[in-house]
Structure 1
Amino acid sequence: MKRLNFILLFIGILMIVLLSRVYFLSIKSNTYYEELSKQNYIKRVYQAPSRGLIEDRNGIPLAINNLGFSITVKPHLKSYKNKQKLHNIVKIIAKHFPEYEEEKLLKRYKKLDSPYKHDYVNLIDYIAYDDFFSKFTLFNSIEDIKVEPSVKRYYPFHNAASHIIGYVGKASRENMNNNELSKYSGIVGKNGLEKYYNEKLQGTLGYKDIKVNALNKELEVLKEKKPNEDNNLKLTIDIKLQKYIQKIFTHKSGAVIVIDVNNGELLAAASFPEFDNNIFVGGISQKDWDKMRNSFDHPFTNKLVNGLYPPGSVHKMGVALALLEHGISPSYSVYCNGELQIGNRKFRCWKQRGHGRTGFRKALRESCDDFFYKASLKVGINKISKTLEKYGFGQETGIDQINEFIGVNPNKNWKREKYNQPWYIGETVITSIGQGYTLVTPMQVARYTAFLATGKLPRPHFYKDNHEEPKKVQTDPEYLKIIRQGMYDVANKRFGTAQRHIRSKVTIAAKTGTAQVISIPQSEKKRMKESELEYYHRSHAWLNTYGPYENPQYAVVALIEHGGHGGSAAGPMVSKIYDKLYDLGYIKK
């Protein structure tokens, strides 16, 4: 009896297991196998949109897509059976387009083909429309070749605004892992606005669900979603002004910025020397890359946001505001005899015989170093640094460019953390005239100049729709008035450091700056002329300006690398830029 019960129990358990398996296979797995079945006969083909155009503020195209064709070849032709077909295809391509070598085409095909690949192999990404059109019928009639439309990024103005526009390049494996759309477009923004706004410019994917048979032949389109192409980028720059600045910039290297002081729009911004962005689209040669990378003038560096320079005397307005803010009277003056001795070291004024009795306005007009030496010692570096921070020194400007540098706005804590050393009073003295550890980018100086003109800090931007309200900075209006009067004198009064070099239809307020790149030995009794120094030992020349003086609308900032004196190096050029702004209607009477 026990044996019979055991047998019945075993049969019962076996039946339960079998029924459970049948339930799983017939019901629970139905959804899985139904999806698998769909995949066997429905193919989803993704469609990448055309990359958005980049236009200047007047709708002139700065980055476009040139139409052409790509050549794709049927997969699995490298087998012994189909080998001759592949060789014939490659021969035809090389015959009609001699720039493509047979061996390289074969190598590319073998690299991209695999036993698991069902899509056609992309053998040639792009051939220009005009070059291919006459041969379209021939190639389209070859059974194992598929000719498809293709586009290539093109920059019609070549090297104008090259650093800010940037360029695209072939998407790397890392790009594809981080950005699904780049798997299908094959390109991604590599620099400048092309990279910063890559998500917008590339648009969103579309797709088609296509019914195919066992031979992968398309039978029917079941569903289609068009790619989103609302992806154009309208900039704030005026390419006519940009080209004009490129024409009149006669120096080897530097930067020029034109910014609307009231809203932060950048009408022009150039980093010199420039380069043609088109050389990167198809891949730059090693020879050209090495030439650019090894140049002492650093053409590949976007000096607008990645160039770090001592600000020299353009720093003095911010320091003057710090002095006033921290207790120095507006009527304060010093007697400048040409030098200040601290211990065994002499800190010289640029004018060997000195400026005599000097107050704030004269100190700015004639750029008296000794005034700032003596006044800075009364206030101290920490208070000066705190005020300069409000004006954007040592801070990001927030501009829509990649990897913006923040520079250095030094103080005692900064030096302790950076070098584990104490701060010396001699360092306060040289910091007060924009030397020492202080480093800025031209874009920071442009933003700070806009503040001097309006009392507000705008966020510089290139994309029209990326505007935000300028930041109000707490500063006594009477103090700003003193600064503005000093800047007016620089360009318009006798002994002003730019007065002889600025001639414009517009009344301009300015400040010149000479930023040393090498120190002057104490044994040097008389400072050498910049023209007597080796070129790469010459000081950088700064000129920051705004105008019209009575109703500020634009700031123009120029940095000339190794240009010497800011007034003579940049004054005539900046005057022409204001005249151009006037002629183009940007500056109103």
Structure 2
Amino acid sequence: MKIKFIIFVFISIWLALIVRVFFLAIQSNSYYSRLSLQNTIKHEQIAPVRGEIVDVKNRPIAINKLGFKIELAPHLLLKKHKNEFNDEIAFLLKAFPLLNKEKIIKNYKKKDSFYNHDFIDVVHFIPYEKMMPVYSMLNLRKNIKIVPAPKRYYPYKNIAAHMIGYVSRANQKDIDKDPLLDLIGYTGKTGLEKYYNSYLQGTPGEKEIKVNANNQEVEELSYKSPDEDRKLKLNLDMELQKYISKLFEGKVGAIIIMNVDGSVLAAGSYPNYDLNIFVSGMSYKMYDELSSSLDHPFTNKMTHGLYPPGSTIKPLLGLLYISTDLNEHWSVDCRSNLKLGGRIFRCWKKKGHRHTDITKAIRESCDDFFYKGSLVLGNRKMSAGLKRYGFGEKTGVDLPNEFIGVVPSREWKLRKYHKIWSIGETANMAIGQGDFLTTPIQIARETALIATGKLPTPHFIQMIGNEKYKTTYTNVLNGIELKKLPIIQKAMYEVCNSPHGTATNYLHSKVVLAGKTGTAQVIGIKQDIKKRKQEHELSYYKRSHAWFTTYGPYKHPQYVVTVMVEHGGHGGHAAGSIVSDIYNKLLELGYIKKK
């Protein structure tokens, strides 16, 4: 019995050994073959070159400067390789004396580990002209790798800075959203660079290489080119951009020059900054100076500046008045002030405008007409109508994180402040004051609506690669509003051409214009003050914002020009000359043809 048991155990052991040998020799063959292949064949992604941005006449706006990055072999911090590491650092500093030794070491330590077998970026960019004299010597060193690495460059520097935007090094948050950025290194942070980032950055290529036990390349097995150099063509004209920058020098605010179909020909937010400082990096001192400025140079005032629209709201509100509860013959007797809810609501004209209909109310910007009209319509109808026209929503412009502004209403106030709406707020809203807030791009878009009867989607893009951008409109006006729109258009013509128009005396345009001025107060006027201070008598930051929005030519509208000068005072005085010069420039450049 014992002999049988011993034989059974002996046979069992041998069977187990035979099964194991079979598994190792036959079944595991494919597994170890794959593992061996991974040890000898390496897949490397190839970073795509970022696409260029050009203006409407193919002038380069955002390009790539040719350069290189320097990488060091991994594991050089190990004790046995420490001397090699120090030698390589010393060699790099001798070749490029301006390099920062501490920064190189910091970049290396950040990525070096036992698990990393790839070369490590230690210098992100060396210009082509500086690399060429030492390229051969660097290339001979086994621990150093030179890799092409273009760098974004903005030849126009601060011109149209907020619209174009900039790229800078991707942080970990960016990489978590898009792992490709770990390879590329840079991403669009603002403006068009950010909005069209996924298109501009392209897709990576890949090469398959055979490496030896020391991770050194032996042979290239396959190569797939990256999808890169994707071109973006804009509607912007950089000659016009430079021109408006000179016109706005020393001022704070925004300008928009837009075709009535929504194509933005030029736009600016001021003050601005040199885009290249974000690519190369700036000092803490420079950043603090810019970020702490009361004029907010980092804010794109075109899409992120929220301002009371002031009297620029009157044409569209007037259209709403005469298309709903009122009609074009309705009028008021403006006596300069209106007692309402325990307050006095003043008109800007001290002696009042007396008999005032819709045309005169817009032409001479009579506040009393709009106060009294708002009491007939009420806040609900006003808010609903203005939202239908496009206020309080994104315009759809191709810039990131656009603000929507505020169209105040009973429901909005209750939700935000847990307070009841007052009748005085309705009157304030009627002249574009109180909690009513808009962006300059919204005002430009609404002006195009008045000019054509259609609400366009503003856009900077003209061509994405070989594909042309398709303009889009929204029909927001009903039949009655379209029928009565010419009344509003004529009133806006008189603003710019009638002897009593609020803009007439400030214009020298060769193009016949229609428009609306606006003065948006930034501080309230106390009830007991009988004589207002003139705008120039106030300290700068207490002066009203100056608006002037226009379209032209009047009979055949082609372009909208909207100007907003922060703390500029009266719209016509602050912006009339700027608007005139812009239309004259549009004539000179051939955008507007003389009939």
| TM-score band w.r.t. shorter chain | over 0.9
Partner of 1:130: 129
Matching residue's letter, 1:417: R
Distance (Å, rounded) in 2 between the aligned partners of 1:22 and 1:92:
54
Decide which of 560, 578, 593 is 1:555's aligned counterpart: 560
Which has the larger displacement, 63-72 or 566-575? 63-72
User: Shift of the alpha carbon at 1:214?
Assistant: 1.4
Decide which of 412, 415, 420 is 2:410's aligned counterpart: 412
Decide which of 513, 518, 521 is 2:526's aligned counterpart: 521
Decide which of 546, 549, 552 is 1:544's aligned counterpart: 549
Decide which of 489, 495, 503 is 2:494's aligned counterpart: 489
C-alpha change, 1:194 and 1:361, in structure 2 (3 Å) is same
After TM superposition, list the pairs within 5 Å mapping 1:281-292 onto structure 2.
281-292=279-290
Partner of 2:535: 530
Partner of 1:508: 513
C-alpha change, 1:490 and 1:96, in structure 2 (3 Å) is same
User: Shift of the alpha carbon at 1:285?
Assistant: 1.9
Which has the larger displacement, 306-315 or 164-173? 164-173
C-alpha change, 1:46 and 1:501, in structure 2 (3 Å) is same
Decide which of 318, 323, 328 is 2:316's aligned counterpart: 318
* Paired residues of 1:397 and 1:443 also in contact (CA < 8 A): yes
2:584 aligned with 1:579, yes or no?
yes
2:466 aligned with 1:467, yes or no?
no
Per-residue CA deviation, residues 382-406 of structure 1 (Å, 9 max, x unaligned), is 1011111121100110111111110
Partner of 1:448: 446
Secondary structure at the aligned position of 1:309 is classed as coil
Distance (Å, rounded) in 2 between the aligned partners of 1:182 and 1:398:
27
TM-score in terms of structure 1 length: 0.95
Partner of 1:294: 292
Partner of 2:465: none
Distance (Å, rounded) in 2 between the aligned partners of 1:99 and 1:147:
18
Secondary structure at the aligned position of 1:36 is classed as helix
C-alpha change, 1:87 and 1:340, in structure 2 (3 Å) is same
Which has the larger displacement, 161-170 or 128-137? 128-137
Distance (Å, rounded) in 2 between the aligned partners of 1:400 and 1:7:
84
User: Shift of the alpha carbon at 1:27?
Assistant: 6.1
C-alpha change, 1:338 and 1:11, in structure 2 (3 Å) is farther
Partner of 1:330: 328
Distance (Å, rounded) in 1 between the aligned partners of 2:139 and 2:156:
34
User: Shift of the alpha carbon at 1:231?
Assistant: 1.4
Per-residue CA deviation, residues 34-71 of structure 1 (Å, 9 max, x unaligned), is 33222111100110111100111111111111011222
Distance (Å, rounded) in 1 between the aligned partners of 2:19 and 2:84:
54
User: Shift of the alpha carbon at 1:13?
Assistant: 8.9
Matching residue's letter, 2:266: A
Partner of 1:364: 362
Which has the larger displacement, 111-120 or 217-226? 111-120
* Paired residues of 1:251 and 1:560 also in contact (CA < 8 A): no
Distance (Å, rounded) in 2 between the aligned partners of 1:424 and 1:331:
28
Which has the larger displacement, 34-43 or 488-497? 34-43
Distance (Å, rounded) in 2 between the aligned partners of 1:211 and 1:559:
62
User: Shift of the alpha carbon at 1:183?
Assistant: 1.3
User: Shift of the alpha carbon at 1:582?
Assistant: 1.1
Matching residue's letter, 1:468: T
User: Shift of the alpha carbon at 1:473?
Assistant: 2.0
Matching residue's letter, 1:494: P
Partner of 1:254: 253
After TM superposition, list the pairs within 5 Å mapping 1:178-193 onto structure 2.
178-193=177-192
After TM superposition, list the pairs within 5 Å mapping 1:143-154 onto structure 2.
143-154=142-153
* Paired residues of 1:252 and 1:297 also in contact (CA < 8 A): no
Distance (Å, rounded) in 2 between the aligned partners of 1:324 and 1:45:
68
After TM superposition, list the pairs within 5 Å mapping 1:213-362 onto structure 2.
213-262=212-261, 264-362=262-360
Per-residue CA deviation, residues 465-507 of structure 1 (Å, 9 max, x unaligned), is 4433211222322321111011000000011000001111111
C-alpha change, 1:8 and 1:501, in structure 2 (3 Å) is farther
Distance (Å, rounded) in 2 between the aligned partners of 1:520 and 1:4:
115
Partner of 1:477: 482
User: Shift of the alpha carbon at 1:361?
Assistant: 0.3
Partner of 1:96: 95
Distance (Å, rounded) in 1 between the aligned partners of 2:34 and 2:531:
86
- Calculate percent identity across the aligned residue pairs: 50
Partner of 1:64: 63
Which has the larger displacement, 71-80 or 564-573? 71-80
Per-residue CA deviation, residues 261-293 of structure 1 (Å, 9 max, x unaligned), is 12x110011110000111111222211111111
- Ranges in structure 2 where 5+ consecutive residues have no aligned partner: 463-467
Secondary structure at the aligned position of 2:399 is classed as coil
* Paired residues of 1:358 and 1:371 also in contact (CA < 8 A): yes
Per-residue CA deviation, residues 318-339 of structure 1 (Å, 9 max, x unaligned), is 2111112222011001010101
Matching residue's letter, 1:587: I
Which has the larger displacement, 522-531 or 136-145? 136-145
User: Shift of the alpha carbon at 1:9?
Assistant: 9.9
C-alpha change, 1:104 and 1:203, in structure 2 (3 Å) is closer
User: Shift of the alpha carbon at 1:368?
Assistant: 0.2
- Aligned positions, number: 587
Which has the larger displacement, 287-296 or 484-493? 287-296
Which has the larger displacement, 185-194 or 562-571? 185-194
After TM superposition, list the pairs within 5 Å mapping 1:28-107 onto structure 2.
29-107=28-106
Secondary structure at the aligned position of 1:481 is classed as helix
Matching residue's letter, 1:186: G
When the two chains are superposed, the root-mean-square deviation of aligned CA atoms in Å is 2.2
User: Shift of the alpha carbon at 1:161?
Assistant: 0.8
Distance (Å, rounded) in 2 between the aligned partners of 1:404 and 1:247:
26
C-alpha change, 1:519 and 1:17, in structure 2 (3 Å) is farther
Per-residue CA deviation, residues 512-559 of structure 1 (Å, 9 max, x unaligned), is 000000000011101110001110010000001000000001100000
User: Shift of the alpha carbon at 1:113?
Assistant: 2.4
Per-residue CA deviation, residues 400-443 of structure 1 (Å, 9 max, x unaligned), is 11111100011111111111211111111010000011000111
